[in-house]
Amino acid sequence: MTVARPAPVLRVEGLSAGYPDRTVIEDLDLRFEPGAITMIIGANACGKSTLLSTLARVQPPLAGRVTLDGDDVAGIPRRRFARSVGLLPQQPTAPDGLTVAELVARGRHPHRGMFQRWNDQDAARVDAAMARTGVAALADRAVGDLSGGQRQRVWIAMALAQDPRILLLDEPTTYLDLSHQIEVLDLLRELNRTDGTTIVAVLHELNLAARYADDLIVMCEGRVVAHGRPSAVLDRAVVAEAFALDALVMPDPLTQTPLIIPVPGGAHSAADRG
């Protein structure tokens, strides 16, 4: 039986992020609940992916800091940070001809020194990651030959082989049909519940975000407009502010999580909203 390890606490403090010529997020303070599934939602260009990239150290803050158990991540050595935090970007790509097993094995790089050889523990972690994600039978297949749902499972397997305590995912269900979206989100929830892995994901499907999140962050124009349990924070006013959309918000009859139903003709332009 897998024993869940304590998850480190990830925070942003006074964070401003974006680009040298454009600030996307300004003076943001957030704490990501350890051992929980946090979904980040919001309209296009609201700062969701910028926030995730900054958490993952893909881009440095313009001001403020990201901390892991109180330590500024900017000062944590790259390999040590990667042993705690894994990232699945929005559109990952693999070299032509790379097999599933070879890609998943790349997740072990943070655990191996420059001259350290592949060992039994590395092999066991890779095998376990492929088994957990249901891709073991695809080990010798080229990643490029797989379906979208299969590829996403393989990328998640690579992240699992990294053995992170926090997993960051940027729109992991993009371009997948509904059944594969559910499949991927069910897998992430199983990993969270079994291993205690903190999941932080940007998602654009509102109803799925509300269904799977323990904690929901709603963003609009670089700021957080609501943060908390989906049933506590997601209402008609929040949807209107974040998405310029008039929608009914009611309990899902199956899960009792918020269900968003757009009102016909209820979408408004940014000019209307402003």
Q: What is the pLDDT of residue 271?
A: 42
Distances (CA, A) of 121 to 50, 64, 124, 196, 216: 35, 38, 5, 21, 36
Say what the pTM is: 0.88
**DSSP labels, 54-112:** HHTTSS--SEEEEEETTEEGGGS-HHHHHHHEEEE-SS----TT-BHHHHHHGGGGGGS
Position 250 pLDDT exceeds 80: yes
> How does pLDDT run across 69-107, given as a tens digit for each residue?
999 999 999 888 988 999 998 878 888 889 999 999 998
Q: What is the pLDDT of residue 1?
A: 40
Task: Tell me the pLDDT tens digit for each residue of 255-265.
Answer: 999 999 999 98
Instruction: Give the per-residue pLDDT at 4.
Output: 57
Residue type (1 letter), 13: E
Please give the structure tokens belonging to residue 6: 């304590």
Q: Closest Cα to residue 108, out of 150, 172, 166, 160?
A: 160
Looking at the chain, the whole-number percentage of residues with pLDDT higher than 70 is 93
Residue 188 CA to residue 193 CA, distance in Å, equals 9
The residue-averaged pLDDT of 217-241 equals 96
To the nearest 10°, the Cα dihedral for 83, 89, 91, 94?
A: -10
Q: What is the pLDDT at residue 140? A: 95
Each residue of 91-147: pLDDT tens digit?
A: 788 888 899 999 999 988 776 655 567 778 889 999 999 998 889 999 999 999 998
Dihedral over Cα of 127, 130, 132, 138: its sign? negative
| Whether domain 10-94+164-273 has CATH 3.40.50.300 | yes
Q: Which residues contact 39 (CB under 8 A, 6 or more apart)?
A: 201, 202, 203, 209, 210, 212, 213, 215, 216, 217
Cα–Cα distance, 182 to 188 (Å, whole number): 10
At residue 31, does pLDDT exceed 60? yes
